[in-house]
Amino acid sequence: MAEDGHLHHLLKLAGLEPKVLLDILDQAETYLRPPGSAPARDDCLAGRTIANLFFEASTRTRASFELAAKRMSADVLNLDVNTSSRIKGESILDTIYTLQAMQADIFVIRDASAGIPALIAAKVEPHISVLNAGEADVSHPTQGLLDLLTIRQHKGGFDGLTVTIIGDIAHSRVARSLIEGLSILGNSEVRLAAPPGMEPDPDHYPGATITSDIDGAIEGTDVIVTLRIQRERIREKSSLMTNPEYLKQYGLTEARLERARADAIVMHPGPMNRDVEIAGAVADGPQSVITRQVTNGLAVRMAILATLAGNRNLA
């Protein structure tokens, strides 16, 4: 965020003004097109360069940032850990300075270490923007925005909603960013239901109910967000239960979903482990909005790029 209140870097949702979030959601709506028609385009980043630096695995976030950049007519550079010099020992800042010297304008960063996007934002030249595309278990602001857009489309707003997140909340940057956004935009009730050992730090979720009673947390809720077990962030894997056992005890099954409101929506950020945290029949069922989240993710990323271009007269 810049001092004038305009978006310059996007590192986390916490601390942003409601208007900044709402403007991005509104702009994202303008980039949605019916299935089968040509995707929206906007040439506001023509001649600008966006560098996508993914030092951690990603499918949809990376693909959607790449498509968003191309649909905004930017030049796009994609680096991942397998092809970058970081594995040869070059520091991430040296990689950034190298790309800055090639006139990159926007860096999109995913990294397994906390603090990397903020470090880069502090070191780059002032005209450069940094977008956080997933930071350890701390922050994933564009995911938070796409989740907010999906909820708003189906529920009309945020006030008075009950939002239940189930699964590995302790290691989830997705949950962190969604809850930051919800607390900025409305007055919703948040229930966090995690298996033992996966409960979040309550300090990260002021006002939320934290429980291991998955059934109780789903009762009468409007929105259910299911989360993958973040195995890559769990050191002691031997204590994890088997997949069928996890589904039975903590997964979103069709029987559990019946406890929610009849018009409740089911979300998942992906990648999804079918029949572990969510039953395949629920993921493919009428209440699932999972593919809608993917569509919204691209529109939200286009909207963020357009916001940066507009704020800084990049075009």
* Footprint on this chain of ligand NCD (rule: CB under 6 A): 60-61, 134, 140, 143, 173-174, 228, 269-271
Q: How far is the CB of 5 from ligand NCD (least distance, A)?
A: 27
Where b means 16+ CB within 10 Å and e means fewer, 129-160 reads bbbbbbbbbbbbbbbbbbbbbbbbebbeebee
What is the rounded distance in angstroms from the CA atom of residue 92 to the CA atom of residue 76? 19
Q: How far is the CB of 228 from ligand NCD (least distance, A)?
A: 4
Q: Which lies closer to ligand NCD via its Cβ, residue 100 or residue 226? A: 226
Q: How far apart are CA 127 and CA 2, in angstroms?
A: 11
Query: Quick one: which of 163, 220, 222, 217 has its CA closest to 194?
Result: 217
User: Quick check: 194 and 216 in contact, CB under 8 A?
Assistant: no
Minimum Å distance from CB 252 to ligand NCD? Answer: 15
Q: Which ranges in 102-242 belong to alpha helices (H)? A: 116-123, 141-155, 173-185, 214-218
Strand partners, 211: 193
Smallest distance from ligand NCD to CB 149, Å: 14
For the CB of residue 298, give the shortest distance to ligand NCD in the complex, in Å. Answer: 12
Q: What is the 3-class SS of 54-77, one letter each residue?
A: ECCCCCHHHHHHHHHHHHCCCEEE
Cα separation of 116 and 24, whole Å? 24
Choice between 181 and 269, CB closer to ligand NCD: 269
Nearer to ligand NCD, 143 or 162 (CB): 143
Minimum CB–partner distance for residue 258 and ligand NCD (Å): 25
In the complex, minimum distance from the CB of residue 297 to ligand NCD, in angstroms, rounded to a whole number: 7
* For ligand NCD, the closer CB: 140 or 191: 140
- Using the minimum distance from each CB to ligand NCD, give the nearer residue, 157 or 271: 271
For 7, 34, 193, 196, the CA distances from 164, given in Å and listed in that order, are: 29, 29, 7, 17
Tell me whether residue 14 or residue 315 sits nearer to ligand NCD (CB atom).
Answer: 14
Question: 228 and 273 in contact (C-beta within 8 Å)?
Answer: yes
Q: Which is nearer to ligand NCD, 195 or 269 (CB)?
A: 269
